[in-house]
Amino acid sequence: MPETEVLSKKIIKIRKTLKQNQFEFAENCGISVETLSLIERKKADPRLSTIQKIAAYTGVLVSDLVDVGIIGYEMDCIYEIREDLIKDESGKNVKVYGIDVFRTVCMNKEILFSIPNIFVDYYRIQRLVNMCNENSVSVLHISDIIDDALLLE
């Protein structure tokens, strides 16, 4: 598989995992939406500086993005519950729960990204996080698992 196709698939999977459209992802990476679109459609070989910007935003190593030997964004991740306070319609503070996604690098945890405000039920998020950690769920599949869990509500 050509390098541009592998890079395209990796970037699309990461962007979808973050639940961002092309405009949001490009803006957060500091690149143009046109550049991102060309990369995702396999119409351009991006400059190293562009790949570095994508890597910096997503927390992925440049070598992981351009490694054609491994297709996808497969890595061991640690999932933890995040707790936030938001105001409801009446202005009262309400606890909501999400997930922080970490990877381990040289015995240290590095945060990859956060998915805030998924559940208001602590026990649902606790079961989801435990299941992800116990089954070593790939970061590529976390959005599908969350979607499935939300459908069960």
Spell out the per-residue pLDDT of the chain, length 153, in tens: 457 788 898 899 899 988 999 999 999 999 999 999 999 998 988 888 898 899 888 888 787 787 644 433 445 688 999 999 998 889 999 999 989 888 776 667 878 888 888 888 898 899 989 988 888 777 777 777 777 777 665
Q: How many Å apart are CA 50 and CA 32, to the nearest integer?
A: 10
Tokens of 148: 């499935």
Q: What is the DSSP letter of 120?
A: S
What interhelical angle do 33-40 and 3-17 show, nearest 10? 120
Locate the DSSP E strands across the chain: 77-87, 93-105, 108-119
pTM for the predicted model, two decimal places: 0.49
Q: How many Å apart are CA 33 and CA 78, to the nearest integer?
A: 31
3-state helix, strand, coil in the chain (%, to 5): 45, 25, 30
